Amino acid sequence: MSAWKEFSKGFYKQNPVFKQALGLCPTLAVSSSVKNGLGMGLAATFVLICSNALISLIRKSVPNRIRIPIYIVVIATFVTIVDLSMAGFVPDLHKSLGIFVPLIVVNCIILGRAEAFAGKNNVGLAFLDGVGMGLGFTLALCLIGSIREIVGSGSLLGIPVLSASYEPVLMMILPPGAFLTIGFVLGFFNWIENRKKAN
Amino acid sequence: MKEVAKLGFVLTLVTVLAAAGLAMVYSITKPRIDAQGAMETESALIEALPQIDPASIEAVRDGDEIRYYRALDSDSQYLAFAYIANGSGYSSVIKTMVGVDKDGTLIGLKVLSQTETPGLGTKVEEIKYGEADPWFLRQFLGKKADGVAVKADGGEIVSITGATISSRALTKSVANGYTSLLKRLEADSAMASTSAEPDGSE
Amino acid sequence: MEFQNLMIIALGAIFINNFIFSRFLGICPYIGVSKQLDSAIGMGMAVVFVMTLASAVTWLVDHYLLSPLPINVFYRLLTLQQPPDLVFLRTIAFILVIAALVQFVEMVVQKISPSLYNALGIYLPLITTNCAILGVAILNVDTQYSFIESIVHGFSAGVGFTLALILMAGIRERLELAEIPKSLQGIPIAFIMAGLMAMAFLGFSGLKIGM
How is chain C split into domains, by residue range? Answer: 2-206
Among C8, C66, C85, C89, the strongest candidate for a mutation testing the B interface, having the largest count of B CBs within 10 A, is C89
Report yes or no on A169 lying in a domain. Answer: no
Q: Is C2 on the interface with A (CB under 8 A)?
A: no
Measure in Å the smallest separation between the Cα of A171 and chain C Cα atoms.
Answer: 8
- Tell me if C198 and A194 make a contact (CB, 8 A cut-off): no
Distance to chain B for C16, nearest Cα, Å? 9
Q: Would an 8 Å CB–CB cutoff place C61 in contact with chain B?
A: no
Residues of A in contact with C187 (CB under 8 A): 21, 183, 186
C-alpha distance from C27 to closest chain A C-alpha (Å): 6
pLDDT for the residue C122:
67
Walk across the sheet containing B78-88 and list its strands: B57-62, B65-72, B78-88, B93-101, B106-113
Nearest-CA neighbor of A194 among C75, C183, C40, C111?
Answer: C183
Please state, for a pLDDT cut of 70, what percent of chain A lies above it.
99
| Confidence class for position C211, pLDDT limits 50, 70, 90 | very low
**Structural domains in chain B (count):** 1
Residue-averaged pLDDT of chain A: 86
A 10 A CB-CB count for C2 gives: 9
Q: What is the mean pLDDT of residues C70-78?
A: 79
Is the dihedral angle over the CA atoms C147, C151, C153, C154 positive or is it negative?
Answer: positive
What mean pLDDT is predicted for residues A58-83?
87
Q: Label the pairing between strands A155-156 and A159-160.
A: antiparallel
Residue B50 in this model has a pLDDT that exceeds 90: no
> What percent of chain A is helix, strand and coil (3-state, nearest 5)?
75, 0, 25
Q: Is residue B142 part of a domain?
A: yes
Residue B49, C-beta contacts closer than 8 angstroms, at least 6 positions apart: B57, B69, B71, B80, B82, B99, B107, B108
Mean pLDDT of C39-49: 83
Rg (CA), chain B: 23
| CA nearest to B82, candidates B172, B174, B197 | B174
Query: Closest Cα to residue A72, out of C50, C133, C95?
Result: C95
User: Residue C209 pLDDT more than 60?
Assistant: no
Residues of chain C in contact with residue A106, where contact means CB-CB under 8 angstroms, are: 95, 129-131, 134
CA atoms within 13 A on the CB side of A199: 5
Report the pLDDT value the prediction gives residue C120, as an integer from 0 to 100.
Answer: 67
Above 50 in pLDDT, residue B1? yes
Residue B139: the pLDDT is 87
Chain CA centroid to CA C195, Å? 20
Pairing of strands B78-88, B106-113: unpaired
Q: Which residues of C touch A44 (CB under 8 A)?
A: none
The pLDDT, as a whole number, for residue A196 is 87
- Judged by DSSP in three states, B196 sits in coil
List own/partner pairs for B24-33 with CB under 8 A and 24 or more apart: B25/A80, B25/A81, B25/A84, B25/A85, B25/C88, B26/A84, B26/C88, B29/A84, B29/A85, B29/A87, B29/A88, B30/A84, B32/A88, B32/A89, B33/A84, B33/A87, B33/A88, B33/A91
Is the pLDDT reported for residue A194 higher than 60?
Answer: yes
Q: Do B14 and A89 touch (CB under 8 A)?
A: no
- The pLDDT score that the predictor gives to residue C177 is 84
* Strand partners for B111: B96
> How far is the alpha carbon of A113 from chain B, nearest alpha carbon, in Å?
20
Q: Would you say A114 and A51 are in contact if contact means Cβ atoms under 8 Å apart? A: yes
Nearest CA in chain B to A69: B11
Nearest CB to C92 within list B18, B91, B117? B18
Domain encompassing residue A135: 2-140
Q: Which residues of B touch C16 (CB under 8 A)?
A: 91
The 3-state DSSP composition of chain B as helix, strand, coil percent (nearest 5) reads: 50, 25, 30
Residue B200 has pLDDT above 50, yes or no: no
Q: DSSP secondary-structure letter at B123? A: G
Please, which pLDDT band fits residue B193 given cuts at 50, 70 and 90?
low
Nearest to A152 among B15, B119, B162 (CB): B119
Residue A168 included in any domain: no
Query: Cβ of B22 and A65 within 8 Å?
Result: no
CA distance B105 to B146: 9
End-to-end CA distance of chain C: 12
Among C183, C153, C135, C132, CA closest to C30: C132
* Chain A interface residues (partner C, CB cutoff 8 A): 21-22, 24-26, 28-29, 69, 72-73, 76-77, 79-80, 83-84, 99, 102-103, 105-108, 111, 171, 174-180, 182-184, 186-188, 190-191, 194
Cβ distance C88 to B90 less than 8 Å, yes or no, reads no
For residue B176, what are the CA distances in angstroms to A41, B44, B88? Answer: 42, 20, 12
The H or E element containing residue A160 is: strand A159-160
Check A183 against C134: CB less than 8 A apart. no
pLDDT band at B191 (very low <50, low <70, confident <90, very high): low
What pLDDT score does B194 carry?
A: 47
Nearest CA in chain B to C211: B88
Assign A45 a pLDDT band (cuts: 50, 70, 90). Answer: very high
Q: How many domains are contained in chain A? A: 1
**Confidence bin at B202 (pLDDT 50/70/90):** very low
Q: Is residue A193 part of a domain?
A: no
Confidence of residue B195 (pLDDT cuts 50, 70, 90): very low
Q: What pLDDT sits at residue C208?
A: 60
Residue C153 vs residues A162, B158, C91, C179, C183: alpha-carbon distances, Å: 42, 38, 19, 40, 39
Q: Could you tell me if residue B96 is inside a domain?
A: yes
Q: What is the pLDDT of residue C157?
A: 93
**In whole angstroms, what is the distance from residue C7 CA to residue B202 CA?**
44
Pairing mode of beta strands B57-62, B93-101: unpaired
What single letter denotes the amino acid at residue C165?
L
ipTM for the complex?
0.83
Classify residue A71: in a domain, yes or no.
yes
pLDDT in tens, B133-171: 888 888 888 888 888 888 888 888 888 888 888 898 889
Element (H, E) at A159: strand A159-160
What is d(CA B97, CA B138) in angstroms, rounded to the nearest whole number? Answer: 14
Round to whole Å and give the CA distance between A192 and B7. Answer: 48
Q: Check if the beta carbon of residue C137 is closer than 8 Å to that of residue C98.
A: yes
pLDDT(C88) > 80: yes
User: Which pLDDT value is given to residue C210?
Assistant: 44
Tens digits of residue pLDDT in B62-88: 766 777 888 877 676 778 888 888 888
Which stretches of A90-172 are DSSP H helices?
Answer: 91-97, 108-113, 123-153
For residue A156, the surrounding DSSP H or E stretch is strand A155-156
**Least CB-CB distance to B36: which of A77, A91, A160?**
A91
Angle B93-B96-B99 from CA coordinates, rounded to 5°: 160
pLDDT of residue A79: 93
Provide the pLDDT for residue C70: 78
pLDDT in tens, A7-39: 888 788 888 788 777 778 888 888 888 888 899
A and B: number of Cβ contacts within 8 A: 63
| Confidence grade of residue C159 (pLDDT, cut at 50, 70, 90) | very high
Beta-sheet strands, E only, within chain B: 57-62, 65-72, 78-88, 93-101, 106-113
Examine the pLDDT at A49 and tell me if it is beyond 90.
Answer: yes
Sign of the Cα pseudo-torsion (C8, C11, C16, C21, in order): positive
Whole-number pLDDT of residue C153: 93
* Residue A83 counted as domain residue: yes
For the stretch B110-117, contacts whose Cβ atoms lie closer than 8 Å and that sit 24 or more positions apart, written own/partner, are B110/B44, B110/B47, B110/B48, B110/B137, B111/B137, B111/B170, B112/B40, B112/B44, B112/B84, B114/B89, B114/B166, B115/B91, B116/B89, B116/B90, B116/B91, B116/B92, B116/B163, B116/B166, B117/A174, B117/B90, B117/B91, B117/B163, B117/B166, B117/C205
Query: Do C185 and A189 form a contact (C-beta atoms < 8 A)?
Result: no
Residue C1 pLDDT: 59
The whole-chain average pLDDT of chain C stands at: 83
What pLDDT digit, counting tens, does each position of B83-125 carry? 888 888 877 788 888 888 888 888 888 888 887 877 788 888 8
CA distance to partner chain A, nearest, from residue B33 (Å)? 4
Query: B81 in a domain, yes or no?
Result: yes
Evaluate if residue C5 carries a pLDDT over 90: no
- Name the residue range of residue B67's domain: 46-201
Q: Residue B11 falls within a domain, yes or no?
A: no
Query: Is A153–B119 a contact, with Cβ atoms under 8 angstroms apart?
Result: yes
Q: Residue B52 domain-assigned? A: yes
Residue A84 located in a structural domain: yes
Least confident window among B119-123, C53-57, C164-168: B119-123
Helix (H) or strand (E) segment spanning residue B179: helix B164-191
